[in-house]
């Protein structure tokens, strides 16, 4: 499985947690949405799951355009990739839940991210995550597909 983590300082911490617990996972880190788009546009990269961390956005106030750019790109190039957005801010969580719209996408609002949640996020289906973290998931109007 190929996991892409798009995030700032916390991306390497998340990668370390995942690497220590999963031997068969290929993990690539990008510091920003722009870096992710530029690199994956230039070459063919297969991605199973994208973990988008709020700290990948340098301008917390001006993130809307960048989130929309990310969503447009992923919807065109990585249609079947699971996209999990981890949010520290309620406004950001609400916006991403409305902007990143796919049955395979999920925005989760977390105050403190724990190791077990990270492991679940990278290994469980979107449907299971919706049920397991029902109080943290920011709900959208998109119907989910049953994943196998």
**DSSP calls for 24-77:** T-EEEEESSHHHHHHHHHHS----SEEEEEGGG-S-STTHHHHHHHHHHHHHHH
CA-wise closest residue to 86 among 105, 71, 103: 105
CA-wise closest residue to 92 among 59, 118, 51: 59
Q: Is the pLDDT of residue 61 over 70?
A: no
Which is higher by pLDDT, 100 or 31? 31
CA-wise closest residue to 11 among 43, 46, 54, 41: 54
The helix, strand and coil proportions of the chain, stated in percent and rounded to the nearest 5, come to: 45, 20, 35
Per-residue pLDDT, 146: 41
Per-residue pLDDT, 96: 87
**Residue 139 pLDDT grade (very low, low, confident, very high; cuts 50, 70, 90):** low
Per-residue pLDDT, 6: 96
């Amino acid at each position: 499985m190929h996991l892409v983590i798009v995030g700032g300082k916390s991306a390497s911490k998340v990668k370390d947690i995942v690497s220590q617990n999963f031997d068969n996972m290929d993990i690539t880190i990008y510091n920003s949405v722009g870096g992710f788009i530029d690199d994956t546009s230039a070459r063919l990269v297969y991605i199973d799951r994208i973990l988008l961390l709020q700290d990948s956005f340098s301008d917390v106030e001006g993130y809307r355009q960048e989130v929309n750019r990310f969503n447009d790109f992923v919807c065109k190039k990585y249609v079947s990739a699971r996209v999990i957005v981890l949010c520290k801010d309620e406004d950001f969580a609400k916006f991403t839940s409305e902007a990143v719209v796919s049955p395979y996408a999920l925005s989760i609002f977390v105050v403190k991210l724990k190791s077990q949640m990270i492991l679940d996020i990278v290994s469980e289906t979107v449907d299971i995550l919706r049920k397991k973290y029902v109080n943290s998931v920011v709900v959208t109007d998109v119907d989910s597909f049953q994943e196998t």
